Amino acid sequence: MKAYLLLEDGTLFTGRSIGAVKEVVSEIVFNTSMTGYLEVLTDPSYAGQAVVMTYPLIGNYGICREDMESGRAWPDAFIVRELAELASNFRSRETLQQFLLEEDVPGIEGIDTRALTKILRERGTMNGFLTTNPDFDREEAMRRMKAYQVLGAVARVSCKEKYVIPGKGKKVSIIDCGIKRNMLRELSKRGLELTVWPQDARAEDILAEKPDGIFLTNGPGDPAENVGLIREIKKLYDSEVPIFAICLGHQLMALATGGKTYKMKYGHRGGNHPVRDLESGRAYISAQNHGYAVDDKSLDPKVAETRFVNVNDGTNEGLAYCGKNILTVQFHPEACPGPHDTSYLFDHFLDMMEVQHA
C-alpha cells in the first residue's frame, strides 16, 4: 500500500505504508543513530513527534521487548528508508513491522530519507502529514499542519502516582517527566533507594521525605510550557538537597533560576554528539535527544556557569550552579545503546550526596 508524507513547506514524499494504517499530523524530527531503533521508539521524549531514522536499513535485528525504555511506543509515526523484513538476532521475538502494528504506530518506508533530512537541516524542523489516502485534501492537510503544536506532553508521559524502587543506599527522589528505564537501572545498580514522583508533585511533599538527592529526568515538548513544574523546581533549588538533572530536567532548572530556553533549528538527536567538559578540557561522545536548548547568556553568572558545551555548534550542554550542589546536563549519560563516556556522572551524583552529608 502506498503512503504519502507531506511537509509543511509543500514537499511531498511517496513511499510504502508500514505499521498501523492511520492518518497523523506531527512534528518531523530526525535521529542519526545507527542502532537503537527500539529505544528510540519507546523513548517518551518523542511524544508528539514523528521520527526519521537517517541510517538506511532499520529493523535488521528485530525486537527484544526487554530493551524497551518505557512500557509503550511514543512517536506519532516512524519514517525509514528501508524496513528489514527479516530479523537476525537470537534475542529477537518479533519483527519491527509486527511491533509497529501492535503499538499502533504508522509509518512510511521507501522514501529518500537523506533528502528529507537535508530539508529539515536546511529549513528547520517542521510539521508533516502522513496518510495512505492518495486523494487527500492538500489544503486541509496544510491547515492541520500549521495548527499542530506539541502540548501537554510531559503530563501525558509522566507516571500518575509515585512508586518506590527499593535500595540499601541513599534515598533519591525522582521527578518523572518521561523517564527512560536505563536511568533507573543506572541509579539502582549504585544501590540507591528510588522514589519516583509524577510531574505534578509538590516540592514540599518531596522534601518532607528528606531525600539525600533529587533527580530530574528527560521529557518531551517545550520546557517553558511547564509553568507549575518550574515553580516547584525553584523550591527544590532553594533547598540544600543535591540535584542532578538530565535533558529536559536541565532546561527546567535553568528556567527555574531565571534563564531562558529557545527552540533549535533542528535539534540534536542521535548517539554521536561530541561535548566538551570545560572544567577538565576533555571531550566526550554523547547520546542526545532534544529540540530545545538553554540560552546560557540569559543566566546570571552568579547563579550558574557553563560546564559542558557542544563541540559542533557551541550550544550549552551542561551547567554547574554556583554555591549549590547542583549539576545539570543536556545529553544522556545513561545512553542505551550508545556511548558510555559520561556514565561517570552518576558516580559524581553519589559523590555530591556524600559531600552534602560529610
251 is in an annotated binding site: yes
User: In the predicted model, what is the mean pLDDT of residues 71-92?
Assistant: 97
Q: Which residues contact 325 (CB under 8 A, 6 or more apart)?
A: 240, 241, 242, 243, 352, 355, 356
Whole-number pLDDT of residue 338: 85
How far is residue 196 from each of residues 42, 161, 213, measured CA to CA in Å? 19, 8, 12
Asked if residue 248 belongs to a known ligand binding site, the reply is yes
Q: Which of 27, 232, 247, 273 is catalytic?
A: 247
Residue 291 in marked binding region: yes
Is 288 annotated to bind a ligand? Reply is no
- Fold classification of 154-356 is Rossmann fold (3.40.50)
Name the average pLDDT for the chain.
97
Phi, psi of 109 (to 5 degrees): -130, 170
Active site residue 247: yes
Which of 8, 39, 232, 334 is labelled catalytic?
Answer: 334
| Per-residue confidence (pLDDT) for residue 337, from 0 to 100 | 84
Say whether pLDDT at 101 is over 60: yes
User: What number is the average pLDDT over the span 321-329?
Assistant: 97
Structure confidence at residue 190 as a pLDDT band (50, 70, 90) = very high
Residue 169 labeled ligand binder:
no
Ligand-binding site membership of 292 (annotated): yes
Over residues 100-105, the mean pLDDT reads 98
Return the pLDDT at 353: 97
Percent of the chain at pLDDT exceeding 90:
97
* 3-class SS string, 113-152: HHHHHHHHHHHCCEEEEEECCCCCCHHHHHHHHHHCCCCC
Amino acid 357: pLDDT: 62
Q: Which residue in 268, 273, 290, 332 is the catalytic one?
A: 332
Question: Mean pLDDT across the stretch 164-172?
Answer: 97
**Residue 165: exposure state from Cβ atoms within 10 A (0-12, 13-18, ≥19):** middle
Helix axes 248-256, 227-238, angle to 10 degrees: 70
Whether the model clears a pTM of 0.85, i.e. scores above it, the answer is yes
Query: Is 332 annotated as catalytic?
Result: yes
Gap between the Cα atoms of 63 and 344, Å rounded: 29
Examine the residue annotation and report whether 336 is marked as an active-site residue of this protein.
Answer: no
- The mean pLDDT of 15-24, rounded to a whole number, is 98
The closest of 225, 279, 289, 221 to 41, measured between CA atoms, is: 289
Helix, strand, coil fractions of the chain, as percent rounded to 5: 25, 35, 40
Confidence of residue 336 (pLDDT cuts 50, 70, 90): confident
Which pLDDT value is given to residue 45? 98
Annotated ligand binding at 289? The verdict is yes
The answer to the question of whether 163 is labelled as a binding residue is no
Residue 104 has pLDDT above 70, yes or no: yes
Q: What is the pLDDT of residues 31-60, one digit of tens each?
A: 999 999 999 999 999 999 999 999 999 999
Please give the CATH number for the structural domain made up of 2-150: 3.50.30.20
For the chain, domain boundaries: 2-150, 154-356
The CA distance from 160 to 181, in Å, is: 16
Q: In what order do the strands lie in the sheet with 243-246?
A: 163-165, 193-197, 171-175, 213-216, 243-246, 326-329, 316-321, 304-310, 260-277, 283-295
Does residue 280 have a pLDDT over 70?
A: yes
**Is residue 358 predicted with pLDDT exceeding 60?**
no
291: closest CA among 46, 72, 25? 46
Residue range 152-165: mean pLDDT, rounded = 98
In percent, the amount of the chain with pLDDT more than 70 equals 99
